[in-house]
Amino acid sequence: MNPATFTLSAARDALARRAISSLELADFFLERIAHHNPQSHAFITITAESAREQAQRADAEMARGISRSAQHGIPLALKDIFDQRGVVTTAGSKILRENLAAQDAEAVARLRNAGAVFLGKTNMNEFAFGVTNQNPHYGDVPNPWDQTRVPGGSSGGSAVAVSARLCLGALGTDTGGSIRIPSALCGVTGIKPTYGRVSLRGVVPLSWSNDHAGPIAQTAQDCALLLNTLAGYDAQDPASVNVSAPDFTRALNDSLRGLRFVAPKGYFEEKVDAQVLDAVKQAVGVLEELGAARVAKTFVAAPDMFQLNRVILRSEALAYHRNYLATQPEAYSPDVLRRLHEGESITTAEYALARRTQVELVRAFEVWFEDIDLLVIPTTRTAAPRVGTDPLEMAQHLTAFTAPFNVTGFPAISLPCGFTREGLPIGLQIVGARWREDLILRAAHQYQLATDWHERMPGM
């Protein structure tokens, strides 16, 4: 039995039939982390001692017939932007290197109550500002499929940890694509839920209006299991919405017959690498074979989403960082400092107009999805770029198809749908109407039952 071949779901089943213990799982992944982390830099902090204690507690509970959830005894990782009680939350920065968390973020508390085992805190772009996971403070994270390529960011450490089989699932955040981009570039599955679905309390903010939290795992089924625990109203989070959350696994095995989807056209074909577009078109064919109906419909006429997201993000990031900028500007990396100073050139009127446009876009997207269930498009225009590629060019190519769904808050999942000739993963993005994570998870799960792209492992 090799736990490196486990999905979260398979590990849950193995624990249930006593084929393996939670402590054995934790030790296995901690050993892999110890071996690979000096090169991968996927983890900033490794919490081996507390992980073993959590695993032993889970084993004792399961021996008494107690089953808390699908995550009970499962080794997970947390992006180092979520507070974990008694552990430093750096947000990938030098400024917060001594920021010891007094309590769990709400998402972490939910996983803790579900019996999860926390292996450590994963690397990220400094303050989640970027898509490369190049971090001057805690080490650059290479792509596990090609060390000369970036893994995507800002949740790159979480995606690499899942892809390299250093854990069975991880938490990430997504403000312009930061769950979906690294998931696509690393060949794993990651979902950005609807804005307000998962609490952001206890998460270091980048942009209050566009921040989302969600899981990264090997499969859509694993993401659904994690989302079952993470989703729910939090009265102490101003962004949380009091809407009921279904069992996201309930309809995973339902047929796709009757679902209507729109495939890449127009904007979502522009500047897309030919290999990426071909893989996505083949995935569209698989969805049609599974019974989903492809329909033609022009996408919402929208302003420059990249620029809109940029105005909101930089304005709100500047507001959060104003005190740090005044007291210790030298602690920021030059790249993040430059991005924050760009926010100073954005006027109040520009920010107000961007927020008004955001509200209008949400309504336009709601109308567009009234007779459509899914939008099926590439996650990114290219596979993983090489380290050293121009940062602005990289950001535009990687966030062009992800940022629109941060601005509008609509749910979207990225899952692997092929590989380039160079052996780099290609991501398929499935977008749904607000609060319809169940539909995008069902489509992703059915696609993964019909394909094996998600089973491939990097040759580390």
Mark whether 265 is an active-site residue.
no
**What is the per-residue pLDDT for 150?**
98
Cα 147 to Cα 39: distance, rounded to the nearest angstrom: 10
**What is the per-residue pLDDT for 391?**
82
**What is the per-residue pLDDT for 1?**
78
Catalytic residue among 178, 183, 209, 333: 178
Q: Are 375 and 332 in contact (CB under 8 A)?
A: no
**What is the per-residue pLDDT for 307?**
86
Cα distances (angstroms) measured from residue 159 to each of 77, 96, 144, 333, 449 = 10, 22, 10, 23, 21
Catalytic residue among 9, 21, 22, 79: 79
Catalytic residue among 154, 158, 183, 207: 154
Q: Mean pLDDT throughout 180-198?
A: 99
Residue 303 has pLDDT above 80, yes or no: no
Mark whether 94 is an active-site residue.
no
* For residue 183, cis peptide bond before it (omega within 30 degrees of 0): no
Pick from 413, 436, 445: which is nearest to 255 by CA? 445
**What is the per-residue pLDDT for 306?**
80
**What is the per-residue pLDDT for 299?**
87
Q: Express each pLDDT in 415-460 by its tens digit.
A: 999 999 999 999 999 999 999 999 999 999 999 999 999 999 998 6
Domain annotation for the chain: domains and CATH numbers? 3-303+352-455 (3.90.1300.10)
Residue 116 has pLDDT above 90, yes or no: yes
What end-to-end distance do the CA atoms of the chain give, in Å? 19
Amino acid letter at 237?
Answer: D
Q: Mean pLDDT score of the chain, rounded to an integer?
A: 97
pLDDT band at residue 128 under the 50/70/90 scheme: very high
CA 445, 210, 162, 82 torsion: positive or negative?
A: negative
Cα 209 to Cα 408: distance, rounded to the nearest angstrom: 10
Sort strands 117-122 and 293-294 into parallel, antiparallel or unpaired.
Answer: unpaired
Q: Express each pLDDT in 197-225 by its tens digit.
A: 999 999 999 999 999 999 999 999 999 99
Cα 20 to Cα 32: distance, rounded to the nearest angstrom: 17
Q: Express each pLDDT in 64-100 by its tens digit.
A: 999 999 999 999 999 999 999 999 999 999 999 999 9
Residue 53 has pLDDT above 80, yes or no: yes
Cα 168 to Cα 188: distance, rounded to the nearest angstrom: 11
Mark whether 154 is an active-site residue.
yes
Phi, psi torsion values for 427, nearest 5 degrees: -105, 135
